[in-house]
Amino acid sequence: MFKILMLVALVGFVAAVPIDSEPERRVPQIIRNDIHKNEDGSFDFVYETDDGNYREEKGVVINPNAPEEERKIAVTGLYRYINDEGKTIETHYTADENGFVPSGADIPAIITKTAQEIHDSKH
């Protein structure tokens, strides 16, 4: 009887051990990382990883004669990655004091249009 009880306990224990169904993911390696910061607050950077991720961005001070704490930056950039289905997704964007405007083949046109209209209405 004791052997049967131990066997049932062992089977229950083995059945309860979780099975890792996802393979271990590799940490992407950075293959490019360029950053430039300027004294006026403007900047640009680019980074890229070996798994297809990419981002670049440029910020320009739009009111350089303002006191430092009141300066505003307009940003343009893009990011790109490969989704789980293997498709490359790329999004371009602008951002300033009037908002963020994304555009790209995978951004629904209505989102880009609406964001641009809101942005333009604030000018």
pLDDT band at 3 (very low <50, low <70, confident <90, very high): low
pLDDT given at position 16: 64
- Please report, rounded to a whole number, the percentage of residues in the chain having pLDDT higher than 90: 49
Q: How is the chain split into domains, by residue range?
A: 28-96
Helix (H, G, I), strand (E, B) or coil at 81: strand
Predicted pLDDT of residue 20: 65
Within 45-108, where are the H helices?
Answer: none
pTM for the whole structure: 0.69
- Segment 8-26 mean pLDDT: 67
Nearest to residue 107, comparing CAs of 122, 94, 98?
A: 94
pLDDT one-digit tens code per residue, 48-100: 999 999 999 999 999 999 998 899 999 999 999 999 899 999 999 999 988 88
Per-residue pLDDT band for 42 (boundaries 50, 70, 90) equals: very high
| Helical spans, DSSP H, in 1-123 | 2-16, 109-121
